[in-house]
Structure 1
């Protein structure tokens, strides 16, 4: 059985007469030693160089207890370890958490699971932390309540940032964040910090690398009331009747805004990835990319292809990926087109693509008087309140058809 204990190596006396406290790791008849930052003088040692200062044992007891617990966890595989392997395993227990490194690995995992939106927002957090600390390595223990307050002040100020864009470093000035941006940014940082605590803290081994969460005392500012992104049916009609140049971003913006509205608020990312095989018996069937990795039903939905949507769908399906390298670029192009349309229509506010989804849901509920449950089904939202009931119920897509028909008929 492997053992750990404090020891003094008698032939390691320093010039000032002190001895370094070592941790001896013994396994399979061999011993190796871990150096510590503790040095003892003669009055803390017996004549044969044994430690007599009780405070030294008290100081190291939590660390030795952690090592012994870790060795206990290895009991079934300990015979496969050399004493050097065991030493390296115990050293790993003492390594500080590089929060930036963890954050980048966490983001890569999100990308591998198709959660591009979450990865994008957390990447912003990591880059901002690097800017703030002015280094690529930040200990999780440095992120304290006081540091969070200082970081918030930093985010509220105008600042210059440098980012890599298409293999070129681009420097630009960004405005300070307002309350809404601060709320979202700090919320995302809290998500990442708690994920790090869950990953690195192992209570069973008494291995707590991140002992405190700074967000327990730091209060994230409340999010301001979101500006409503709802259009009246008359305004959507103006968009549908707008005159645009063929093959322009305005045409793209108008067409895909209407397609989203006709297909119950379909997201740009889902439109981008649509293929002919998603068309089944006159319906669009797909898994909503934003939430499919977080739902047991893979966020599947089936929507009827109504007459108004069919020509737009034929025009763009399977072709958008040839024009745009990813759905984010498509989204930007759509919004440029919609901005142009907004400028040309006096009765229209400056809109973005997501207004189509908001407007569909708002009209379905407030104008067509559809129930919130039916609207949620049409928007492909998860129903946390009725999760247990949903186990027993099949999805009835005719409910979605009825919501869709009620809304589109108003046009």
Structure 2
């Protein structure tokens, strides 16, 4: 049982008394301080308060507290939990303050790049509101939808910013609300009514081997600077292209202990916190870039491998200067501004040339670029042999810098592009079709006269046995004998045929 009563305790230094609500729960007392004060003349000899204004206010407060306590079961709580519940039940929470606390926690965990994204998201939301004191109650679904609409012209922020804000909201609800104790400081979750838009597809920045040769083998623009940015941009781009497309942040953070016997070992900053293997990768430094690699090595007393830390305050500043240098070279080459390269151009180029011109499959490309390629769990406990990535990297270097072969750039399709956009059929082309069920060919022909894939599938389906159960999947393998291109489709009986 809980009892509540207005009372005073010790006098203040000015002789006045602060008014408290005494809370007695399971025979244990506690006190909630109000904002009211009273003088000794309004305190009776038995301790009762005689000021009518204060008594009216305290009576109203006690009624509110009593109503809250009646709506939940506090039998097993201690008096501190009861007081915390009464004080926080109606307290409005500031989203901006909570977000800063949440971001600081992420930073303490070492997730600096993630924290940066959260800062950008919260800062944009605060600019939209025109206040750095946004309350959770202000973030209604209607308001958030309008904010998301204001991001519609961005490529990535329209997905990343709302996702970050939603995560802060989700964490706050988990941390500040306690449904078991009927503590609901955040009254609603507006994100249940909001659909976050997808970011635009990754821009394919890759260039051909011929373009790489032109970029790296032309004179640098003249400059009076001792450490010219075009030279930095060219050298760091070369390091990326010849170390499996390594990112600038990973180059920036490399330490001397990460370089042994001509091999660098690092954990990719972008995904080290989201993968069981911490995105660990080893890459051999090929002789071709040894001189460029050594050009930027730091002094003996520096724990970092390169001098970039002493020249740039952080990895973002380093990346920005590298991109400025690359753009200066592009401008000197007479390129249009919209066609300028950036650092990521050379990471994408490594992947594209590895697949198009060095006969690597997508798994090998992903492995060489330190992507998880869907094997997070396996990579977490297998001792990885990185030599296949080294060999592929050496092939890419040889193809670009030690041959004059033309690359197949432009012939490969975007991985997101549907296969049938490149699989053309006309009535004059010879088509071979096969239908498989449980691995067995049940229908097959080679003929001409088809205008599209659906006609081929319809022809194969007509020859399938009738005892295939409805809902079962059949694989249709179609080969264009003239172009030697092949596609495979799956259709379910009763839906696809």
Shorter chain as denominator, the TM-score bin is: 0.7 to 0.9
After TM superposition, list the pairs within 5 Å mapping 1:28-47 onto structure 2: 28-30=27-29, 32=31
The alignment status of 1:386 with 2:375, answered yes or no, reads yes
Cα gap change, 1:192/1:62 in structure 2, threshold over 3 Å: closer, same or farther? farther
For residues 43-98 of structure 1, give each alpha carbon's deviation from its aligned partner in whole angstroms, at most 9, with x where no partner exists.
xxxxxxxx9xxx99996367544xx27x54xxxxx5xxxx5786246524553332
After TM superposition, list the pairs within 5 Å mapping 1:259-298 onto structure 2: 259-298=239-278
The corresponding residue for 1:306 is: 286
Which region of structure 1 is more displaced relative to structure 2, 349-358 or 183-192? 183-192
The corresponding residue for 2:161 is: 185
> Greater share of helix residues, 1 or 2?
1
Give distance in 2, aligned partners of 1:107 and 1:140: 16
Give distance in 2, aligned partners of 1:56 and 1:286: 59
- Cα RMSD after superposing both structures: 3.3
Structure 2 contact 103–115 (Cα < 8 Å) conserved: yes
Secondary structure of 1:285's aligned partner: strand
The corresponding residue for 1:147 is: 143
Cα gap change, 1:25/1:365 in structure 2, threshold over 3 Å: closer, same or farther? farther
The corresponding residue for 2:346 is: 356
Give distance in 2, aligned partners of 1:359 and 1:25: 72
Q: Which has the higher contact order (CA 8 A, sep 6+)?
A: 1
Deviation (angstroms), 1:313: 1.2
Secondary structure of 1:303's aligned partner: strand
Structure 1 contact 24–31 (Cα < 8 Å) conserved: yes
Structure 1 contact 252–334 (Cα < 8 Å) conserved: yes
Structure 1 contact 263–309 (Cα < 8 Å) conserved: no
For residues 370-406 of structure 1, give each alpha carbon's deviation from its aligned partner in whole angstroms, at most 9, with x where no partner exists.
22222222111224x3334435532111121122122
The corresponding residue for 2:25 is: 26
Give distance in 2, aligned partners of 1:311 and 1:121: 36
Structure 1 contact 114–289 (Cα < 8 Å) conserved: no
After TM superposition, list the pairs within 5 Å mapping 1:225-374 onto structure 2: 225-244=201-220, 245=222, 247-317=227-297, 318-346=306-334, 349-374=339-364
Secondary structure of 1:255's aligned partner: helix
Secondary structure of 1:394's aligned partner: coil
Cα gap change, 1:368/1:138 in structure 2, threshold over 3 Å: closer, same or farther? same
Give distance in 2, aligned partners of 1:58 and 1:359: 69
Deviation (angstroms), 1:310: 1.2
TM-score, length-scaled by structure 2:
0.62
Give distance in 2, aligned partners of 1:391 and 1:293: 13
Cα gap change, 1:219/1:88 in structure 2, threshold over 3 Å: closer, same or farther? closer
Give distance in 2, aligned partners of 1:98 and 1:311: 54
Deviation (angstroms), 1:290: 2.2
Give the unaligned 5+ runs of structure 2: 8-20, 35-58, 298-305, 401-497
Give distance in 1, aligned partners of 2:258 and 2:156: 37
Deviation (angstroms), 1:209: 3.2
Secondary structure of 1:331's aligned partner: helix
Structure 1 contact 25–33 (Cα < 8 Å) conserved: no
The corresponding residue for 1:406 is: 395
> Which of the pair has more CA radius of gyration?
2
Give the unaligned 5+ runs of structure 1: 11-21, 36-50, 73-77, 157-176
Structure 2 contact 258–266 (Cα < 8 Å) conserved: yes
The alignment status of 1:395 with 2:375, answered yes or no, reads no
The corresponding residue for 1:100 is: 96
TM-score, length-scaled by structure 1:
0.74
2:129 to 130, 133, 158: 133
Deviation (angstroms), 1:243: 1.5
Structure 1 contact 145–218 (Cα < 8 Å) conserved: yes
